[in-house]
Amino acid sequence: MRQLLICCFLTMALSPIAFAQVDFKAQISKSELGINERLRIEFSMNKEGDNFKPPSFNGFRIAAGPSQSVSNIYANGKSSFSKTYTYLLTPLKKGKITIGQATIEIDGSIYKTIPVDIQVKDAVELPKNPNDPNYIASESLHLVAALSKSKVYINEPITVVYKLYFDSKVRPSDVNPIDMPEYNDFWSQDIPSRRTIEREMFKGKLYNYVAWQQTVLYPQRAGKLPIAPLSLDVQLDVPTNRRDFFGNQVYTQVSRTITAGKRTLTVLPFPDEGKPTNFNGAVGDFSFEVKTSKNALNASESLQATVEVKGKGNLKLFSLPEMATPSALERYDPEYSEQVNTTLSGMRGSIKNTYTLVPQFQGKYPIPPIAFSYFDPKAKTYKTLESVELIIDVLEGPKAATPVVNAPNASTVAVPNVAGSFQFIAQQTSFKPIKQLPFFGSALFFVLLAFPVILLLLYFIIRSQTPDATSIARRHKARLVKKFLGKAKKNMSEASAFYVSLEAALHNYLKARLQIQTDDFSKEKMQTLLSDKGVEKDTVALFIQVLTNCELARYAPSSRSSMEQDYETAVAAITQMDKQFKS
């Protein structure tokens, strides 16, 4: 009976542990928040686990974390365990954002949290607590889109400068763009900014500011055009009321998302009054010039004619007027070029079309004046510039059979109807053969035809039977190596045998070439004899070096690479000496 009671007691005591379930969940501080607020999310579990993996937090920036806390409590005969990973998140955009699943491994099994939906709304008003770092950051940091003008004409430039203002008591440590503005209905170009800190009055107070982004805009249509805002995520060091050990003020880091707000630009249409028929959208202040590289030349020579616009305005946004030429001047498609510099004040520079003209006949041909119209936004009027008439004097060349019509509006090259410039190939001649017998088909014709072929065949036959100097030298080298160094090459697997046979091969070569006994004299005498035979000093030194290596190999071990190198050196020395003996 006693044993039964003990078993029941143990079963009741262990049952909570045996049947305890794993609880892994995500808890958030709020499901709705403003874009300028923070979200606290905790991932907690009631049992120890490994390999915790948080979600990606898309749409949020991690402001702090993960911080980890563990609780293990035993009370009233019961134990409880809790482990928590905590993150502080800052939203990067408005709307519905889903935080994905976190995972952890507990007792060999993978557990996941349930995804959490967060609704991010417009910025909310923060409590006005002068000691709250978030409130200090909101009052000390501002982003403003400064427009150079609020009302412009189509294609008139404006500049938008995004200025980041911050109080001198806070210190921005990191700035990251969140939403870059998209300039719909504008031609835009970003201007690099040095982002140096300057000071100016803002809202009646002296602020530090940085020109964070600068863009030149050219509106492309009339009406109320919105300029999308720029949003930045800024990390700020904000002072607190605490001091460190040395009395210095302690700073805390605060994350703040700021936006410049949407701006609207009023774009005026071009006035209809006084609008030229050839106006094609040029806006600014320009000069216009048409010129040629030469005014006098011969027929079939070429010249270059340029149509150029210089000044300040939307140079990249309109086309140049077309040049009209007489039909006797062959005109090729123009080559476009530009030298335009874009600054905060807009585009400035020049654009031009270069035409290549080729006259066909003698005469004087006028290039009629060309008109160019543009709109001056300062004067609010249209202006028309006109080039002078240019005369092209063609001095030499064929004359046109019919008068050439100067077509000032011709956009294509007309081919004139002329006689005598080009004639068809003559079909009848008055030539007579000197001899009645034709050369073609005669015996001499076939002999001369076959003679080059026979010579070519003989050349190839003779050449194939006569070995060239390279082949002779290669075969001679092979015979030398086989005759004197063949045994050494066979003994290359054993160092001592290799060097004995190599040294013997070199001595045998000298015996054969000098008809002497090498045992009777030293290396110095060898050098003298070889020099007397016309062998060069470098070759002699190469030969002596191999002999020296053979002697040294008796007392020191040699590697395979050393034997191969000495063998190749011996081959080179014998080959070179043999050539120099002959010479």
Using one digit for the tens of pLDDT, what is the confidence trace for 215-254? 999 999 999 999 888 888 888 888 887 887 787 878 888 8
As given in the structure block, the two tokens for residue 551 are 């002697």
pLDDT band at 418; cut points 50, 70, 90: very low
- The tens digit of pLDDT for each residue in 351-390 reads 999 999 999 899 999 999 999 999 999 999 999 999 999 9
Q: pTM of the entire structure?
A: 0.53
- The tens digit of pLDDT for each residue in 109-142 reads 899 999 999 999 887 776 666 777 888 888 889 9
Average of per-residue pLDDT across 574-580: 80
Measured CA to CA in angstroms, residue 71 lies from 44, 48, 170 at distances of: 11, 11, 38
| Mean pLDDT, the chain, whole residue set | 82
Residue type, 506: L
Q: Is the pLDDT of residue 460 over 90?
A: no
Residue boundaries of the structural domains of the chain: 21-121, 133-268, 291-394, 469-582
Cα end-to-end distance, the chain, whole Å: 124
CB atoms within 10 A of CB 70: 9
Q: What is the fold, at CATH topology level, of the domain defined by 21-121? A: Immunoglobulin-like (2.60.40)
Non-local CB neighbours of 579 within 8 Å, separated by 6+ positions = 473
pLDDT band at 519; cut points 50, 70, 90: low
CB atoms within 10 A of CB 535: 22
Measured CA to CA in angstroms, residue 198 lies from 207, 213, 258 at distances of: 8, 14, 20
Q: Is the pLDDT of residue 406 over 60?
A: no
pLDDT at residue 255, as a whole number: 83
Q: Can you tell me whether residue 90 is helix, strand or coil? A: strand
